[in-house]
């Protein structure tokens, strides 16, 4: 970890980095030890460093501190260090997510050759297992979906198309001669508080208007519309507040003209 980074981290933690850097004195990270005279000291730029007399924190041998350095004003033969912040486990635990991310990236970059084989040994098998389980789960879902679609397609093919139109309860748009076509129901279904789904919702943007008595919603395809449609679904802001959601339900609808406009009856 670079000294600059350390100071930045400390500054972030204390919200005093500006204050530190604006003081005009040097900032550095020092490890303190007991010298031959039995005093706590360290070294900086080839000169001895002694803790400043006025500092209040107790420095123990072996401690690492971010310090503000001031040269001895008398002869410049040594430095005095004002300890700002101790770098220890609590410092590391107090780092936020982005700081931890930067720190771990820095450690990884500096020690990649050592860490890489260790990480591979620990996580190699785990990653493979995770990929395998995710793939199998997704495959299972797709198989289920596929079987459902097949069932729906078969039932649609078996029953005469005219019946579907006549009863009016469930209209299905599908190309009957091509089994690969996905069947999409035109019914307007409310899925949750704010979301409606329908095979009629095929345009990217809609202009949507509701009546003040909340009985009817009109959808009109419009590239400048305020409602975005994705995967045959739209989410209308406040629908759940205006009309409380009581469970998944289907709404009647009427198509208007041949430009994709339709009216949904909410009551």
Partner 1 sequence: MSIISDSSRDRVMIFIDLRNINNSSKTDSTYSRLDYIKMVKTFRESRILKRAYVFDGIDTIENSNPSNDFHNLLRYHGFTVDVIDSYDPITDRQKGVDVNLVCKVMRHAFNDDFDTAIIVSGDGDFVPLVEEIKQMGKKVEVAAFEGSCNRKMKLAADRFHCMDSLPLLEMESVPEEGIDSPIQSMATTEVF
Name the residues that contact partner 1, by CB under 8 A.
194, 207-213, 215-218, 224, 226-228, 234-239, 241-242, 263
| Residue 127 CB neighbours (<10 A) | 10
Minimum distance between the CB of residue 213 and partner 1, rounded to whole angstroms? 4
The rounded distance, in Å, linking the Cα atoms of 201 and 215 is: 19
230: closest CA among 196, 186, 187, 188?
A: 196
Nearer Cβ to partner 1 (64/218): 218
Minimum distance between the CB of residue 224 and partner 1, rounded to whole angstroms? 5
Q: Measured on CA atoms in the order 241, 244, 248, 251, is the torsion positive or negative?
A: negative
Minimum distance between the CB of residue 266 and partner 1, rounded to whole angstroms? 11
How many Å is the Cα radius of gyration of the chain? 35
Minimum distance between the CB of residue 241 and partner 1, rounded to whole angstroms? 7
The rounded distance, in Å, linking the Cα atoms of 153 and 183 is: 7
Terminal Cα distance for the chain, rounded: 65
The rounded distance, in Å, linking the Cα atoms of 155 and 179 is: 12
The rounded distance, in Å, linking the Cα atoms of 96 and 13 is: 9
12: helix, coil or strand? helix
Nearer Cβ to partner 1 (82/236): 236
The rounded distance, in Å, linking the Cα atoms of 176 and 71 is: 88
Nearer Cβ to partner 1 (33/210): 210
Nearer Cβ to partner 1 (91/260): 260
Minimum distance between the CB of residue 215 and partner 1, rounded to whole angstroms? 7
Nearer Cβ to partner 1 (27/188): 188
Nearer Cβ to partner 1 (117/204): 204
The rounded distance, in Å, linking the Cα atoms of 46 and 34 is: 17
Minimum distance between the CB of residue 225 and partner 1, rounded to whole angstroms? 9
The rounded distance, in Å, linking the Cα atoms of 73 and 194 is: 71
The rounded distance, in Å, linking the Cα atoms of 199 and 246 is: 22
Minimum distance between the CB of residue 96 and partner 1, rounded to whole angstroms? 19
Nearer Cβ to partner 1 (7/236): 236
């Amino acid at each position: 970890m670079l000294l600059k980074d350390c100071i930045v981290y400390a500054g972030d933690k204390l919200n005093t980095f500006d204050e530190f850097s604006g003081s005009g004195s040097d900032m550095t990270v020092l490890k303190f030890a007991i010298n031959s005279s039995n005093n706590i000291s360290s070294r900086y730029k080839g000169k001895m460093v002694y803790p400043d007399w006025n500092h209040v924190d107790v420095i123990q041998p072996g401690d690492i501190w971010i310090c503000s350095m001031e040269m001895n004003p008398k002869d410049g033969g040594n430095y005095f260090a004002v300890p700002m912040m101790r770098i220890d486990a609590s410092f590391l635990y107090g780092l936020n997510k982005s700081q931890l991310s930067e720190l771990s990236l820095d450690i990884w970059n500096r020690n990649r050759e050592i860490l890489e084989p260790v990480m591979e040994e620990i996580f190699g098998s785990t990653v493979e297992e995770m990929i395998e389980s995710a793939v199998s789960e997704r495959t299972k879902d797709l198989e289920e979906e596929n079987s459902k679609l097949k069932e729906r397609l078969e039932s649609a093919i078996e029953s005469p198309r005219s019946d579907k139109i006549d009863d009016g309860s469930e209209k299905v748009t599908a190309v009957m001669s091509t089994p690969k076509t996905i069947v999409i129901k035109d019914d307007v279904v409310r899925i949750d508080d704010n979301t409606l789904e329908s095979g009629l919702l095929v345009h990217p943007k809609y202009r949507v208007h509701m009546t003040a008595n909340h009985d009817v919603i009109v959808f009109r395809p419009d590239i400048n519309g305020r409602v975005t449609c994705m995967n045959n679904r739209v989410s209308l802001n406040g629908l759940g507040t205006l009309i409380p959601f009581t469970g998944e339900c289907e709404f009647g609808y009427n198509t208007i003209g041949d430009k994709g406009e339709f009216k949904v009856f909410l009551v």
